[in-house]
Amino acid sequence: MKNNGKNTNITVRGIQLHSLAAEIRYKNRLDLCLIKIEGQSNSVVRFTKNRFPAAPVIISKRHLKEIEPKYFLVNAGNANAATGQRGVADAISICEAISTLARCAKEQVLMFSTGVIGELLPVRKIISCLPKLFEESTRSGWMEAARAMMTTDTFPKIVTKEFELNGNRYSLVGICKGSGMIQPQMATMLAFVATDLPLSRKALELISGVALSDSFNKITVDGETSTNDSFTLISTNPEKTGLIDIGDPSFESAQNLISNCCKELALNIVKDGEGATKLVNIKVKGAWSDEEAKIIARSVANSMLVKTAIFAEDPNWGRIFSAVGASGAENIKQDKINIYIGEIKICHYGKAVEKLNELEVKTVMSSRNFDICIELNTGTFSADTWTCDLSYDYVKINAEYRS
Amino acid sequence: MKNNGKNTNITVRGIQLHSLAAEIRYKNRLDLCLIKIEGQSNSVVRFTKNRFPAAPVIISKRHLKEIEPKYFLVNAGNANAATGQRGVADAISICEAISTLARCAKEQVLMFSTGVIGELLPVRKIISCLPKLFEESTRSGWMEAARAMMTTDTFPKIVTKEFELNGNRYSLVGICKGSGMIQPQMATMLAFVATDLPLSRKALELISGVALSDSFNKITVDGETSTNDSFTLISTNPEKTGLIDIGDPSFESAQNLISNCCKELALNIVKDGEGATKLVNIKVKGAWSDEEAKIIARSVANSMLVKTAIFAEDPNWGRIFSAVGASGAENIKQDKINIYIGEIKICHYGKAVEKLNELEVKTVMSSRNFDICIELNTGTFSADTWTCDLSYDYVKINAEYRS
């Protein structure tokens, strides 16, 4: 799987796109992108679980119930969230303007917004850019699209892959944005993954569920879930061949390819966590239940004290221990817990390891990526979550953003 | 209620205490304190809900089941948490050493520790200090006791009050420690509140429940709950008079006095939140249930994005809005929500207030204390939580502590 830089001119047959600078919030940067599907396709879209979804989420959900989408408009700089009925009407206006240009039903248009909450979208600016977005769309606009959806992101996130299946060549591209407000159950994150491998709707739904649970739903930067998160998986069918369904010989390969793409995109979001300097995998093993494994992993991953200790490269495992105890899990025993940083055991059955070489642990923690593993020894369930450290720059970025 | 500085020589009849520098972790600072009860008393102690309680918590809980406590030993610098059976044995040894000196049962001794997790207590050092703690104990050692339990605290926390009830003079003293790791359901916090107003056990239990729910269980600095938290309420009976019981004419006064003392102590902890520059009261009104009011208040109070916006004095209410939506509360509607900063409405039925004077809002946010009020308009329940901002110094203090 190639990423950032190499081979980003890859295309997905059946998909054209174009991005431009609409000055939605800032000048001289890409902030508006149209993705259009040329022929047959199936798409699956998953949205935020925040109870206050943004207007574009409300409208896109409504449209998706009616018909297969063909146009995806994405803007950065303004989330069109907490904008009331006016925000909903604005999103509808834009979808209608696209449907007029495209001569399609407005329900075939979905909209995605990210940026500041509580401000009205500059609708006219956006609509005035639409003709150009249509005219100049090409199959090779993926890298620009990844740039156009950035907010506090420090780099565009794109994963591309070309592969062969049953003697045919296919491609897979994933782009996403997101750096802060990342939490299991979706994040302030927009992601689009597209392939020209033709997949049935049922296959797409199953694949997206598995891929999400192993990627975007597993990452955390600061425990926040946003009003605008969404994940879109598109499968085109340029040759109008038979669709791959669940259980077909190629299904598993398709699942693995798409899961890996999502995982790599998700890791890029954590790596770009606001102010993050480290990417840490919190692994929980031997939990009494799946649910307990997950809440413990999240409790440790979201602990501000653990995250600052990671930033400081300080093997202060007492903070990990305390976060496990405070997780809400009930079937845990302190005298059964082991904790490892990298391969080094630092807590043995609830106590400090004797004669621990702290320097060795610090060496592990000085690298950009490492694991923290927690063995509970009360059951057989596991979970893992990726997190990042909490640095001075997290505060700086979030104190200064918007002001 | 007088605080910090004034009238800290107040005494509580029936209680003696002394503190000294035992060099448990650092040199030349008070870190060990013995509180002893002279005559009749009733005490109530409440402990952390962390599933991994520290050794002193395990032992104190066990002792409390047996007999009324008479001696309370408190140390800072070492939490005696995550220390396994050895930690438990250490706590017992110390209680036994005290019982030998005091000629009482070891079950009459409770122990409280705060500091680094995962290291063994310097038992001999502590035991060698005990004779001096006994010899030099006086009734006027409260301020030193407040100092002796400090860890990352930047100031000692003491609240004192003298009052008259039924023609008699009484006093009330509260001391506590805590600055980081504060969260509803207790905090890394040790608190001792004592009065010579004679209260029955039942009265004490009721009073402590009400006082806790309105104080320490309502504060949050960073969402962590620790292994060592405890709250002790002592009522002595120096004149061996009849005890005040629930329903007695003086009961309500006693409740109010103790509740106010706890509230003031708790606010001092938030004010001393690690790196905190502001104390903010998150008020939720019109919730569909008591539970939903509470989880919304906590979600907003614990949101790192809200806390950094408070630090930046940035009226970015979209972050508050998003935290409400992400709280897990289900009976909320975005077009019914109003948000106020101080007295200024900034969100009106889920949308930005038109022609908002942002400068006015920034002026409110520039003060050290202000309210954020969230009206949900879906029910009649309310909750409030105090929180502080997230500053560069939070990261600095927690990255450097222990190292």
The pLDDT tens digits of the residues spanning A325-339 come to: 888 899 999 999 999
Mean pLDDT in residue range A75-79: 94
Q: How many other CB atoms are found less than 10 A from the CB of residue A247? A: 9
Alpha-carbon distance of B45 to B37, in angstroms, equals 15
Q: Classify residue A391 by its DSSP letter.
A: -
Place of tokens 């036994």: B96
Tens-place pLDDT, residues A96-105: 999 999 999 9
Distances (CA, A) of B192 to A174, B35, B173, B189, B267: 57, 10, 8, 10, 15
* pLDDT of the residue at A71: 98
Alpha-carbon distance of A97 to A94, in angstroms, equals 5
* pLDDT of the residue at B139: 94
Q: Classify residue B17 by its DSSP letter.
A: E
**How many CA atoms are closer than 13 Å to the CA of B330, on its beta-carbon side?**
0
Tens-place pLDDT, residues A95-134: 999 999 999 999 999 999 998 888 999 999 999 999 999 9
Q: Classify residue A12 by its DSSP letter.
A: -
> Which residue of chain A has the CA closest to B313?
A399
Alpha helix (H) residue ranges in A232-347: 251-271, 290-302, 304-311, 317-325
> Are B303 and A351 an interchain contact pair (Cβ–Cβ within 8 Å)?
no
| Chain B CB contacts of A396 below 8 Å | 392
Q: How far is A273 from chain B (nearest CA, A)?
A: 13
Give yes or no: B188 in active site. yes
Predicted confidence (pLDDT) at residue A8 exceeds the cutoff of 90: no
| B84, B326, B350 ranked by CB distance to A224: nearest | B326
Distances (CA, A) of B41 to A83, A258, B262: 60, 68, 20
Q: Would strands A168-177 and A157-165 be described as parallel, antiparallel, or unpaired? A: antiparallel
A:169-228 residues touching chain B, CB 8 A cutoff: 180-181, 183, 222-227
> Are A398 and B309 an interchain contact pair (Cβ–Cβ within 8 Å)?
yes
> Which residue of chain A has the CA closest to B330?
A51
Put simply, whether the predicted model's pTM sits higher than 0.80 gets the answer no
Q: How many other CB atoms are found less than 10 A from the CB of residue A13? A: 17
**How many CA atoms are closer than 13 Å to the CA of B251, on its beta-carbon side?**
17
Predicted confidence (pLDDT) at residue A229 exceeds the cutoff of 90: no
Does the beta carbon of B51 lie under 8 angstroms from any beta carbon of chain A? yes
Q: Which residue has the higher pLDDT, B9 or A225?
A: B9
**Nearest alpha-carbon partner for B45 in B260, B262, B190, B246:** B190
Alpha-carbon distance of B241 to A249, in angstroms, equals 86
Q: How far is A298 from chain B (nearest CA, A)?
A: 13
Does the beta carbon of A338 lie under 8 angstroms from any beta carbon of chain B? no
Place of tokens 């809400």: A328
Q: What angle do CA B277, B279, B282 make, to 5 degrees?
A: 140
Mean pLDDT in residue range A46-70: 92
8 Å CB contact between A164 and A206: no
| B86, B304, B347 ranked by CB distance to A82: nearest | B347
| A222, A226, A325 ranked by CB distance to B51: nearest | A325
B:266-325 residues touching chain A, CB 8 A cutoff: 302-305, 308-309, 311-312, 314, 316-319, 321-325
> Are A84 and B50 an interchain contact pair (Cβ–Cβ within 8 Å)?
no
**Nearest alpha-carbon partner for B325 in A51, A196, A101, A261:** A51
Residues of chain B with confidence (pLDDT) below 70: 1-8, 179-188, 219-225, 274-275, 392-403
Alpha-carbon distance of A386 to A262, in angstroms, equals 14
Q: How far is B61 from chain A (nearest CA, A)?
A: 17
* pLDDT of the residue at A4: 43
**Encoded tokens for A204:** 């797409």
Q: How far is B380 from chain A (nearest CA, A)?
A: 20
**A273-A59-A41-A115 Cα dihedral, nearest 10 degrees:** -20
* pLDDT of the residue at A181: 40
E runs forming strands in A38-165: 41-47, 71-78, 109-116, 157-165
**A57-A60-A66-A70 Cα dihedral, nearest 10 degrees:** -160
Q: Would strands A190-195 and A230-236 be described as parallel, antiparallel, or unpaired? A: parallel
Inter-axis angle of helices A201-213 and A251-271, to 10 degrees? 40
Sign of CA dihedral A207, A210, A214, A218: positive
Alpha-carbon distance of B388 to B307, in angstroms, equals 7
* pLDDT of the residue at A184: 33
**Nearest alpha-carbon partner for B192 in B210, B209, B172:** B172
Q: How far apart are the first and last CA of chain B?
A: 38
Residue A266 phi/psi, 5-degree rounding, is: -65, -40
The string over A95-132, giving b where at least 16 C-beta atoms fall within 10 Å of a residue's C-beta and e elsewhere, is bebbbebbebebbbbbbbbbbbbbbebbbeebbebbee
**Encoded tokens for A375:** 């063995």
Distances (CA, A) of B113 to B54, B82, B110: 8, 12, 10
**How many CA atoms are closer than 13 Å to the CA of B318, on its beta-carbon side?**
27
| Chain A CB contacts of B118 below 8 Å | 317-318, 321, 347, 351-352
* pLDDT of the residue at B288: 96
Q: How many other CB atoms are found less than 10 A from the CB of residue B80? A: 32
> Which residue of chain A has the CA closest to B323?
A224
Give the percent of chain A with pLDDT over 90.
Answer: 65
Q: What angle do CA B268, B274, B280 make, to 5 degrees?
A: 55
A:225-244 residues touching chain B, CB 8 A cutoff: 225-227
* pLDDT of the residue at A270: 79
* pLDDT of the residue at A199: 96
* ipTM here: 0.77
Q: How far is B229 from chain A (nearest CA, A)?
A: 12
| A52, A324, A394 ranked by CB distance to B324: nearest | A52
* pLDDT of the residue at B2: 40
Sorted by sequence, the CB contacts under 8 Å of residue B277 that are 6+ apart come out as: B311, B368, B388, B389, B391
